[in-house]
Amino acid sequence: MIVREPRQFPETTNSLQNLGRRCLVIIGETGRCGVLLAQSLWAARHLLVSRRMRRETVAQMYVAGIRSIPVITIVAVFTGMILALQTGLVLSRYNQEIYVGSGVMVTMLREMGPFMTGLILAACVGSSMAAQLGTMMVNDEIAALEIMSIDPVRFLMTPRMVAMLVMTPVLSFYTCMMGVLGGGVVAMTQLNLKWSQYMVNAMDFADIKDLYVGLFKSVIFGATIVTVACYEGFTTEQGAVGVGMATRRSVISAFLLILVLGYFVTRIFYN
């Protein structure tokens, strides 16, 4: 059930009280996002028996995955090229530019692949989710679903959650490969390396753990994007202005959480 009652807080008289109030708001919103995430994951069991949910999930996979490929391809290729160029310029001072492949591969697998994928999906897909659900909220379409005894979380959020959890690891791996490809182009044209030298060095230094950690990050980022976007959409108020504000908050919150969660996951696995 989507709660629409406004949250009541006493008036603040000084900056300390205002800070405490904001902290309480953040804690409350974090808890509600956690509950929303748990509800959507629990409702995913209905995918086994609901044909409509499966169709909607496939449609959301197309939106989140296939339609994001052009943007992800361009960003990934140029990210790999920038990494290779900057790393190669430093290594060339010590005549070690042959190791540029390992730097690009490890960086893309561990950090930049899932990170760039998460940012692109938060901007392209997460904002769209927040705007769509926010529009439905202000037009009372979600209230109509509840009147018909249809759970909005199960009907609207779960297909998006499952689609994102499936597509983010795939897109993250694709981003890594495109980044390595872009880095190889720079290695051959700017650093005078052979493609075979570049790839052998990249494969020798990459570890399977780097791939697993990157894919795990992408799953966390995907769940974060959907949870934040759907929460902002479900809590939209004030008509068209509220839809715009919800979309903006969803992108900003997703960006910040991707940065913070990415650091802590790396800290845990590479302690």
Instruction: Determine the structural domain holding residue 107 and report its residue range.
Output: 18-269
pLDDT at position 12 over 50: yes
CB atoms closer than 10 angstroms to residue 214: 25
pLDDT at position 150 over 70: yes
* Count of domains for the chain: 1
- The pair of three-digit structure tokens given for residue 21, joined into one six-digit string: 């109030």
- Give whole-number Cα distances, 26 to 20, 126, 130, 219, 266, in Å: 10, 20, 19, 23, 24
Q: What is the pLDDT of residue 1?
A: 46
Q: What is the pLDDT of residues 66-93, one digit of tens each?
A: 899 999 999 999 999 999 998 888 888 8
- The pair of three-digit structure tokens given for residue 215, joined into one six-digit string: 């894919």
Indicate whether 4 belongs to any domain: no
pLDDT at position 9 over 80: no
Indicate whether 2 belongs to any domain: no
Q: What is the pLDDT of residues 42-60, one digit of tens each?
A: 988 888 888 888 999 999 9
Indicate whether 142 belongs to any domain: yes
Do residues 132 and 27 touch, judged by C-beta distance below 8 A? Answer: no
Residue 238 DSSP code? S
Q: What is the pLDDT of residues 166-220, one digit of tens each?
A: 999 999 999 999 999 999 999 888 888 888 888 888 888 888 888 999 999 999 9
Rounded distance, CA 169 to CA 217, Å? 8
Indicate whether 3 belongs to any domain: no
Indicate whether 38 belongs to any domain: yes
With CA atoms as reference, report the closest residue to 135 among 243, 268, 237: 243
CB-based burial label for 216 (10 Å; 0-12, 13-18, 19+): middle
Indicate whether 23 belongs to any domain: yes
With CA atoms as reference, report the closest residue to 246 among 54, 40, 96, 29: 29
What's the length of the chain?
A: 271
With CA atoms as reference, report the closest residue to 83 among 195, 208, 172, 191: 191
pTM > 0.85: yes
Indicate whether 11 belongs to any domain: no
Indicate whether 185 belongs to any domain: yes
